[in-house]
């Protein structure tokens, strides 16, 4: 030893607003994703995976220049040749790009796609708001009819019920078509213009760029002012009204609880007609868990054909934050069986027992370093094991195993195959088994049979 001090080395932390997801929490994330795949698959959705980087212009044109996302939240940078690239802040514009690029309208329409993956927005990090966050989303492309809006929301409700959310409320509105919105925009501007000085900086800017967005302001004084504003509902065309009524009728029939929120407009430019949000209590200011709506113009805005579409994006980070305990418990992996060689039995013999357990799908850990029985039991306990298999020279010679219950300290010596079979049976009875079908999952089907019942 030289006695010299090593120079202090700066330890490196993750980038601001980006976090590591660690086990066992990642098991719950995976179970949520498996549930999405299973439920969306039932409705005919196939998975799409788009690149994380896109040309910046895709979002400028697709999401809209006047939106917060494009205006202030994008991670954009030039590549080595100076072309501006952006880490995707959302996945609908990339899906629309892929639809055009691969000429997917040649397939049977409507085309149903879902995605699961990270998104990036340069926002002020806080609970429920990260710079890298995850979305689970679905898009239905190529059909303008209200049955699509309805079916998509029924699927979303089915998914949330499979996660065992006890209550569910979709906040629903229609923002009309281009014509109704243009008329409304003019009326809203005319109403707000004399009050310009009472508006905050954000809303003043929006008055010029995107006045509809002022409707979802959170500033109390602005909310008061808006109470007397003209209502979007009065500017809707007969077709838009009929479309909305048909969507509501489907939600009624299939038992999806909703509330019409006349001021819900959503932040993205591309929405037409149906828009919706699902919020959850207990999340503070960041309470929106799902956002979505119809976007009949997006694909043509991106240079593609006229393809009406509708979709939603679930914020997976926030969803996990409020994920019901019952689902969470079942999603966690079952406790491992710990195999301890004792009395000088070589660790390889413990490994062999662990391998046999694993072969029957029982999670098993073997003590890999020769150690005392006491140390092995302590480690088993820290690793969350409930059963320890003890393998001493007597057991080895007799072809037997001792199963010890850590909680009661009771132990029983059994023939090897019998002991292994018992541990396999016990695992089957454990609650945590990946992504099990939830008891509430049949709920939508049951409600669908009874028009009048609501949750
Ligand atoms: P918010 O109003 O909370 O900023 P948003 O309207 O910008 O949400 P959308 O673009 O509709 O969000 O995205 C859909 C969902 O993605 C949101 O409801 C939310 O759950 C999630 N989400 C959006 N931004 C973030 C973020 N920075 N961190 C974590 N989740 C996010
Ligand atoms: Mg936002």
pLDDT reported for residue 82: 97
In which residue ranges of the chain is pLDDT below 70? 1-3, 267, 269, 431-455
Q: What is the CATH number of domain 25-177+237-328+443-449?
A: 3.30.930.10
| Distance in angstroms (rounded) separating the CA atoms of residues 394 and 399 | 8
Give me the pLDDT at residue 144, please: 96
Q: Tell me, yes or no, if the two domains 25-177+237-328+443-449 and 335-428 fold the same way.
A: no
213 lines ligand 1 (CB under 6 A): no
| pLDDT for 430 | 76
Ligand 1 lined by 267 (C-beta under 6 Å): yes
Residue 423 burial class via C-beta count within 10 angstroms: exposed 0-12, middle 13-18, buried 19 and up: buried
Task: Judge if the beta carbon of residue 318 lies within 6 A of ligand 1.
Answer: yes
pLDDT at 102: 97
203 Cβ partners below 8 Å, 6+ apart? 214, 217, 219, 222
The answer, yes or no, to whether any atom of ligand 1 lies below 6 A from the CB of 248, is no
The rounded Å distance from CA 1 to ligand 2 centre is 55
Q: How far from 313 is each of 36, 223, 400, CA to CA, in Å?
A: 12, 27, 54
The CATH number of the structural domain formed by 335-428 is 3.40.50.800
Helices (runs of H) and strands (runs of E) counted in the chain: 17, 16
pTM of the model: 0.90
- Which distant-in-sequence residues (6+ apart) come within 8 Å of 436 by Cβ? 330
Q: What is the pLDDT of residue 447?
A: 34
Q: Give the pLDDT confidence score for residue 428 in this predicted structure.
A: 83
CA of 118 to the centre of ligand 1 (A): 12
Q: Residues, the chain, total?
A: 455
Question: Domain limits of the chain?
Answer: 25-177+237-328+443-449, 335-428
Q: What is the pLDDT of residues 330-383, one digit of tens each?
A: 999 999 999 999 999 999 999 999 999 999 999 999 999 988 999 999 999 999
- Encode 122-153: b = buried (16+ Cβ within 10 Å), e = exposed: bbeeeebbbbbbbbbbbbbbbbbebebbbbbb
């Amino acid at each position: 030893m030289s006695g010299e001090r090593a120079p202090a080395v700066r330890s490196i932390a993750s980038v601001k607003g980006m976090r590591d997801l660690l086990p066992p929490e990642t098991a719950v994330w995976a179970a949520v994703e498996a549930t999405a795949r299973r439920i969306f698959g039932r409705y005919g959705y196939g998975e799409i995976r788009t690149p994380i980087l896109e040309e910046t212009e895709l979002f400028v044109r697709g999401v809209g220049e006047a939106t917060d996302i494009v205006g202030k939240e994008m991670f954009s940078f030039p590549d080595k040749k100076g072309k501006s690239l952006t880490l995707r802040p959302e996945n609908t514009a990339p899906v629309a790009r892929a639809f055009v690029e691969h000429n997917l309208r040649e397939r049977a329409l409507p085309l149903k796609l879902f995605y699961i993956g990270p998104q990036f927005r340069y926002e002020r990090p806080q609970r429920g708001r990260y710079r890298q966050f995850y979305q689970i989303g679905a898009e239905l492309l190529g059909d303008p009819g209200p049955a699509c809006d309805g079916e998509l929301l029924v699927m979303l409700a089915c998914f949330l019920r499979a996660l065992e959310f006890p209550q569910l409320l979709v906040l629903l509105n229609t923002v009309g078509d281009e014509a109704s919105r243009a008329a409304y925009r003019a009326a809203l501007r005319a109403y707000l213009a004399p009050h310009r000085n009472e508006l905050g900086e954000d809303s003043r800017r929006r008055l010029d760029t995107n006045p509809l967005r002022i409707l979802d302001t959170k500033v109390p004084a602005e909310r008061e002012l808006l109470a007397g504003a003209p209502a979007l509902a009065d500017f809707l065309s007969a077709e838009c009204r009929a479309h909305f009524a048909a969507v509501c009728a489907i939600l009624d029939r299939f038992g999806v609880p909703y509330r019409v929120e006349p001021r819900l407009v959503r932040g993205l430019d591309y929405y037409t007609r149906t828009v919706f949000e699902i919020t959850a209590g207990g999340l503070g200011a960041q309470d929106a868990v799902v956002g979505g709506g119809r976007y009949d113009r997006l694909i043509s805005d991106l240079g593609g054909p006229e393809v009406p579409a509708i979709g939603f994006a679930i914020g997976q980070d926030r969803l996990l934050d409020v994920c019901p305990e019952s689902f969470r418990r079942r999603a966690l992996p079952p406790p491992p069986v710990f195999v301890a060689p004792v009395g000088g039995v070589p660790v390889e013999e413990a490994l062999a027992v662990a391998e046999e357990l694993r072969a029957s799908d029982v999670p098993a850990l073997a003590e890999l370093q020769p150690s005392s029985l006491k140390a092995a039991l302590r480690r088993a306990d820290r690793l969350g094991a409930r059963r320890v298999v003890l393998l001493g020279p007597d057991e080895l010679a007799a072809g037997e195993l001792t199963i010890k219950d850590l909680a009661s300290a009771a132990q029983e010596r059994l023939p090897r195959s019998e002991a292994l079979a018992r541990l396999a049976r016990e695992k089957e009875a454990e609650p945590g088994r990946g992504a099990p079908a939830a008891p509430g999952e049949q709920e939508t089907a049951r409600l669908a049979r009874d028009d009048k019942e609501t949750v």
